[in-house]
Amino acid sequence: MHFNLDLIHKNDFSLWRYEMMLSISKSSIITLGEGMTPLIPLAFHQKQVWVKQEQLFPTGSYKDRGATVLISDAASNGVRHEIQDSSGNAGCSIAAYAAKAEISCDIYVPVQTSEAKLAQISHYGANLIKVNGSREATAEAALEASKHHYYASHVYNPLFLEGTKTFAYEIAEQLNWKAPDVVVVPAGNGTLLLGAYIGFKHLFESGITNKIPRLVGIQAANCAPLIQLQQNINTFMQTSTIAEGIAIAKPHRAQEMLDAISNSNGLLLTVNEQEIIDALKWCINQGYYIEPTSAATIAGVRKALNYLEEDTWVTLFSGHGLKTSDTITKLLKTV
Ligand SMILES: *Cc1c(COP(=O)(O)O)cnc(C)c1O
C-alpha cells in the first residue's frame, strides 16, 4: 500500500498514528504510548546533526517500536505463550509488551548480560532463561525451543521490522516530509537499519519524499562481521566490546544489511573502544545519559562527518544509560 498522508491518525501522538501503513493483524493493539520521540539538533563541531531521542521509549530503547507491533499482531492472532532471545534490550521490550498483552514468555539471554536488564526482564514477569555461552549459543537455544512455540524474535520475525520502519516515518514527518541526506544507525542485527531502509524506501516510492537517505551503519571494530563479509575476509578475530548491544558476531540478515547500505549509496564504518568511550563522555557531559552501545553510533557520526559532505544529518540515541550505570561508572571513572 502507498504511504498516504490522509490516513495518518493526526490525534495519536504515538507511532500508532501510522497504523494504516503497518501490514499486520490489528484487532488488539498493545501499546504503552511509544514513539514520536523528539528530534533535537546537536552541534558536532561545525555541523548540526538531528538526534532522535530513542532512549526515551517505555523500556529504554528503540526496540519498543518492533515489540509493540509484533506483540499486537501476536495478540490479535491469539498467541498465549512466546519465546525470544536477546542480549538485553529486545528482551526488555518483548517482556514489557507481553506483560501488557497478558502473554506469557520465556526470554533467553547470555549469562553475562547487564544485571539491570536481566532484572527488568524478570520484573515484567517473563521467565528468564540464562544460557551459558555466547550470544550465538543463546540464539541457538531459542531457535530450538521455537520449534514448539511462537518465536517473537526481533531478528527472524519480519513483523519486528514493520515496527522499526516507523523510525523513518517519524523523521520524515518531523522534517516536514523531507528525507534527510544522511542517517547514521547502529549495525548489530540491523533491526533499525533495515526498518529505516524499508520506511524511507516506502516514503520515496509513494512520492512523499524525493530520495532515500544515505544509510551509514556503525559496527564496533572489535566485532565487525559486515566489514569482513564486504571485504571477503574469512579468518578474523573478534574480541569483546563495551557496545554489548551491537556485539553480534553472525548477524542473520547480514547480506540484507549490506544491500540496504549499498542501495542507499551509504557507508559502513567501525569505531574502536576509545572512540566509543570518548563519545559516551561527550554525550553525558552535555546531559544525555545514554548507554555505551548508543555511544558507538555517535562515535560513528563523528567519523562519518569526515567522509560525507551532505547537509541534513540524522542519528539517534538508541538506549538509555540508566540500565548500564555500573558500566558507565567503570568507563568514566567519575565516581
Ligand atoms: C539493539 C540495539 C542496538 C543495535 O540494533 P540492531 O538492531 O542489533 O542493529 C543499538 N543500540 C541499542 C541500545 C540496542 O538496544
For ligand 1, whether the C-beta of 291 sits within 6 Å is yes
Ligand 1 near 191 CB (within 6 A): yes
Q: Whose CA is nearest to atom 2 of ligand 1?
A: 245
Report pTM.
0.96
Asked if residue 188 has its Cβ within 6 Å of ligand 1, the reply is yes
- Retrieve residue 318's grid coordinates: 538508541
The verdict on the CB of residue 187 being under 6 Å from ligand 1 is yes
The atom of ligand 1 lying closest to the CA of 293 is 11
Please choose from 192, 198, 219, 290 the residue to mutate so as to test ligand 1's pocket, defined by most ligand atoms within 8 A of CB: 192
- Within 10 angstroms of residue 10's Cβ, the number of other Cβ atoms is 8
Cβ atoms within 10 Å, residue 115: 10
Question: HSE (CB half, 13 Å, CA atoms) of 268?
Answer: 24
Is the CB of residue 195 below 6 angstroms from any atom belonging to ligand 1?
no
Ligand 1 center to 6 CA (angstroms): 32
Q: Give one DSSP letter per residue of 55-106, joined into a string.
A: GGSTTSBTHHHHHHHHHHHHHHTT--EEEEE-SSHHHHHHHHHHHHHT-EEE
User: Which atom of ligand 1 is found nearest the CA of 187?
Assistant: 9
Per-residue pLDDT of the chain (335 residues; tens, 9 = 90+): 899 999 999 999 999 999 999 999 989 999 999 999 999 999 998 899 999 999 999 999 999 999 999 999 999 999 999 999 987 899 999 999 999 999 999 999 988 888 888 999 999 999 999 999 877 889 899 999 999 999 999 999 999 999 999 999 999 999 999 999 999 999 999 999 999 999 999 999 999 999 999 999 999 999 999 998 988 877 666 788 999 889 888 899 999 999 999 999 999 999 999 999 999 999 999 999 999 999 999 999 999 999 999 999 999 999 999 999 999 999 998 54
| 8 Å CB contact between 278 and 242 | no
